[in-house]
């Protein structure tokens, strides 16, 4: 029987990976210590998602420890010798990173190195999938010429229409400390592929979403927006007139990409992975879409100052991944993602 080790297994991508691989008959081991609650308070609590995983899976084992605990991580990798490592645990927020720079780096970069090292020692042949981020490009994508439309910013030039590809530079730009720690990890994951020949991949995610996201103000904007409307909470919009654009990919399509990589791994691969132009929308468009689906108005406040390093218009160019994995495609449209979140987003657990 195949075995997968998934870090961040109670979070959005990790939990989707647990159910995906469990349903394929794999033995699945997840590591998560509900750190998201520590980061974001009650909004970030993931225990409800862990309880759901325990209910719906057949061969899932949860390991409640911190990925920074190198000796436990090494012991686990040694004991399991998994056929796949899917590394999804992270401190995921720009804004939190500036308040906790050492912790952010320790989790995002140093613990990733620890996991790579454990993999190199005990299962170097196992595909290693790392959830990287579009924030590795810092604010370089903001240099693309833009045009302002009624409800969104968009690229002004025809050649940028499909979005940002992997040739975008990764340095000489402002990343936020979060972007810098993810970039450090991204480079290490590439290096273990190139230097040691291990089958590693960095998926530089656009906005990843789904109803199992514990949406919080500082991370998981679509799930948080849906929660705010449902619960009558005030949402804060930061800068760019609310016309900033993100591309949104459902967690299921991310896990399908991980499976495609498992089946046909490469060493040191890097791909942008998001919803692409078809699944892009601006904040104003997202508010409008949820208000009409949920039949309720959002109370929102506009803050003039954008978040540091925030993208004005970010769309993932998927050409490289589609070229290398032609059987993969996006299966969740933007409209189906919005329907799911409007219907199923989890209520905020009481604090």
Ligand X SMILES: NC(=O)c1ccc[n+]([C@@H]2O[C@H](COP(=O)([O-])OP(=O)(O)OC[C@H]3O[C@@H](n4cnc5c(N)ncnc54)[C@H](O)[C@@H]3O)[C@@H](O)[C@H]2O)c1
Residues that bind ligand X (CB under 6 A): 8, 10-14, 31-36, 46, 66-68, 88-90, 92, 107, 131, 133, 205, 207-208, 213, 220
CB of 147 to ligand X, least distance (A): 25
Nearer to ligand X, 67 or 318 (CB): 67
CB of 207 to ligand X, least distance (A): 4
CB of 181 to ligand X, least distance (A): 9
Secondary structure, 3-state, 16-82: HHHHHHHHCCCEEEEECCCHHHHHHHHHHCCHHHHHHHHHHCCCEEEECCCCCCHHHHHHHHHHHCC
Give which of 29, 18, 94, 92 is closest to 57, Cα–Cα: 18
CB of 274 to ligand X, least distance (A): 8
Nearer to ligand X, 296 or 328 (CB): 328
Give which of 248, 214, 266 is closest to 339, Cα–Cα: 248
CB of 335 to ligand X, least distance (A): 19
Nearer to ligand X, 15 or 142 (CB): 15
Nearer to ligand X, 33 or 200 (CB): 33
CB of 88 to ligand X, least distance (A): 4
Between CA 4 and CA 2 the distance in angstroms is: 7
Helices (H) and strands (E) in the chain, counts: 13, 14
Nearest 5°: the CA angle 126, 132, 137 is 140
Report which DSSP code applies to 106.
I
Q: Which residue is nearest to ligand X (CB)?
A: 11
Q: DSSP labels for 185-211?
A: HHHHHHHHHHTT---EEEEEESEEE-T
Cα 247 from chain centroid (whole Å): 12
Report yes or no: 106 and 149 within 8 Å, Cβ to Cβ: no
Between CA 277 and CA 281 the distance in angstroms is: 8
Provide the token pair at 175.
Answer: 């990343």
CA-only gyration radius of the chain, Å: 19
Nearer to ligand X, 296 or 308 (CB): 308
CB of 151 to ligand X, least distance (A): 21
CB of 297 to ligand X, least distance (A): 25
Helix, strand or coil for residue 12?
helix
Nearer to ligand X, 296 or 306 (CB): 306
Nearer to ligand X, 248 or 297 (CB): 248
CB of 157 to ligand X, least distance (A): 25
Give which of 324, 221, 319 is closest to 276, Cα–Cα: 319
H or E element that contains 288? helix 283-294
Nearer to ligand X, 30 or 193 (CB): 30
Nearer to ligand X, 63 or 296 (CB): 63
């Amino acid at each position: 029987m195949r075995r997968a080790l998934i870090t961040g297994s109670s979070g959005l991508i990790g939990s989707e990976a647990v159910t995906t691989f469990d349903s394929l008959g794999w033995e699945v081991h997840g590591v998560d210590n509900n750190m998201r609650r520590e980061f974001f308070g009650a909004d970030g609590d993931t225990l409800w998602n862990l309880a759901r995983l325990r209910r719906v899976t057949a061969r899932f084992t949860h390991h409640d420890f911190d990925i920074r605990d190198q000796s436990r991580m090494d012991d686990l990798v040694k004991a399991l010798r998994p056929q796949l490592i899917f590394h999804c645990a992270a401190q995921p927020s720009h804004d939190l990173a500036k308040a906790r720079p050492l912790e952010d780096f320790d989790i995002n970069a140093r613990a990733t190195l620890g996991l790579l090292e454990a993999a190199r020692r005990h299962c170097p042949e196992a595909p290693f999938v790392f959830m990287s981020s579009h924030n590795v490009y810092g604010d370089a994508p903001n240099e693309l010429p833009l045009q302002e439309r009624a409800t969104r910013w968009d690229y002004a030039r025809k050649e940028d229409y499909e979005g940002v590809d992997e040739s975008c530079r990764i340095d000489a730009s402002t990343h936020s400390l979060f972007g810098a720690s993810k970039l450090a990890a991204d480079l290490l994951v590439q290096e273990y592929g190139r230097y040691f020949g291990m089958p590693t991949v960095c998926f530089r995610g656009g906005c990843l979403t789904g109803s199992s996201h514990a949406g919080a103000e500082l991370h998981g904007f679509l799930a948080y927006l849906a929660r705010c409307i449902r619960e009558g909470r005030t949402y804060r919009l930061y800068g760019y007139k609310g016309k900033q654009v993100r591309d949104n990919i459902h967690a299921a399509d991310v896990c399908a990409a991980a499976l495609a990589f498992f089946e046909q791994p490469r060493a040191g691969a890097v791909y942008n992975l998001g919803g692409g132009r078809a699944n892009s929308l601006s904040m104003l468009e997202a508010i409008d879409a949820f208000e009409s689906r949920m039949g309720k108005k959002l109370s929102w406040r506009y803050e003039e100052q954008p978040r540091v390093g925030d993208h004005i218009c970010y769309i993932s160019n998927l050409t490289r991944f589609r070229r290398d994995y032609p059987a993969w495609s996006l299966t969740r449209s933007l409209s189906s993602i919005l329907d799911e979140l409007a219907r199923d987003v989890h209520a905020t657990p009481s604090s």
